[in-house]
Structure 1
Amino acid sequence: MQERLDQIKKQLHAENFKLTPQREATLRVLLENEEAHLSAEEIFMLVKQKAPDIGLATVYRTLDLLCELKIIEKLNFGDGVARYEFRSEDHPHHHHHLICLKCGSLFEIEDLLDDLEERVERDHKFKIVDHRVSFLGYCSSCLAKEGHKEGN
């Protein structure tokens, strides 16, 4: 984790920003919960444990800055709650999401669209810089509770 913090610190400095204690606490929470797709409020509650004097507005400003610098990405899964995840340095859209409509569980799957992107770029002379895909449905746990077989 320290290596990634150091890397982000360099990125911040390159853009004339400092890694303040509040920003560091926010980044640590994001790194510790990288797979969780936390909301700003969830991040705030966890950051508050590390930095009790931090305010919600500071967390929001930090998240906005990290999004602006393309360190993290703000995601919307249609439930009215913005969530955050780290962006991949080498491939900005490195996975897709499966979202359970019953329990709200969120699962990541690998990017399935590389070949399609290349074809769209070639056939339509269009440079794609990003894409987002979310599949909505029901997870295996919810299907089992309802007595459904997977795939039906």
Structure 2
Amino acid sequence: MNDEAGIAKYEEILRAAGFRITRQRQLILNILNDSAGHPDATEIFERANRIDRRISLATVYRTMKVLEESGTIQRHAFEGGPARFEQNDGEHHDHLIDLDTGEVIEFASERIEALQEEIAAKLGYRIEHHRLELYGRKVRKGG
């Protein structure tokens, strides 16, 4: 989302769920809105805590849970790491996770999508939803 309309949407969802938009929740929403990657709850908490020491990790978790249940953010449980969150912009993409750094790289491939559809059709299925996660290590040149 990365804009004021995105924050307003988050606020609307929280209010509908019975939450007040406190300074701490506003801070969480700003951090989430400004995040380009896939932060986990602890990263969101640590960034918020540097600005407002009164924020609690529980507030971060409760806020993220409501946003996840509404479908505005997606929760990912990448292998071997904490749950990470990303804004749900409606555009499908897959993930490559660097096993050495933990970096999450988003990518999209029409060839992969077509192959998945082909395989499902051959087996007599129609894909309703899927998630592809690749785990790898960067290949070093000359090594």
- TM interval, shorter chain, is 0.7 to 0.9
CA distance in 1, matches of 2:34, 2:85: 13
1:10 matched to which residue of 2? 12
Structure 1 contact 34–86 (Cα < 8 Å) conserved: no
| Bigger Cα displacement from structure 2, 114-123 vs 56-65 | 114-123
Counterpart secondary structure, 1:22: helix
Q: Which has the higher contact order (CA 8 A, sep 6+)?
A: 2
Gaps of 5+ in 2: none
Q: 1:124 to 1:16 in 2, by over 3 A?
A: farther
Give the direction of change, closer, same or farther, for the CA distance of 1:124–1:10 in structure 2 (3 Å limit): farther
Instruction: State the match for 2:138 in structure 1.
Output: 139
> Normalised by the size of structure 1, how large is the TM-score?
0.74
CA positional deviation for 1:75: 0.6
Is contact 2:14-2:63 (8 Å) kept?
no
- Could you say what secondary structure the match of 1:41 adopts? helix
The offset of 1:104, in angstroms, is 2.3
- CA 1:123/1:24 → structure 2, altered by over 3 Å: closer, same or farther? farther
For the Cα contact (< 8 Å) 1:76–1:82, is it kept in 2? yes
SS of the aligned residue for 1:131 comes to: coil
User: Kindly tell me: are residues 117 and 80 of structure 1, through their superposed partners in 2, closer, same or farther at Cα, counting changes over 3 Å?
Assistant: same
Q: Quote the offset at 1:134 in angstroms.
A: 1.0
Q: 1:122 to 1:74 in 2, by over 3 A?
A: same
Between the aligned partners of 2:30 and 2:122, the Cα distance in structure 1 is 41
Whole-Å separation in 2 of the counterparts to 1:122 and 1:6: 44
Aligned residue pair count:
139
Indicate the percent of aligned positions where both proteins have the same amino acid.
Answer: 31
Structure 1 pair 109–53 and aligned structure 2 pair: CA distance change class (3 A):
same
Cα–Cα, structure 1 residues 8 and 121, in superposed 2: closer, same or farther, change >3 Å?
farther
CA contact (8 A) 1:105 1:139 kept: no
Q: Is the 8 A contact 1:95 1:109 kept in 2?
A: yes
RMSD of aligned Cα (Å)? 2.6
Instruction: Report the TM-score, using the length of structure 2 for normalisation.
Output: 0.78
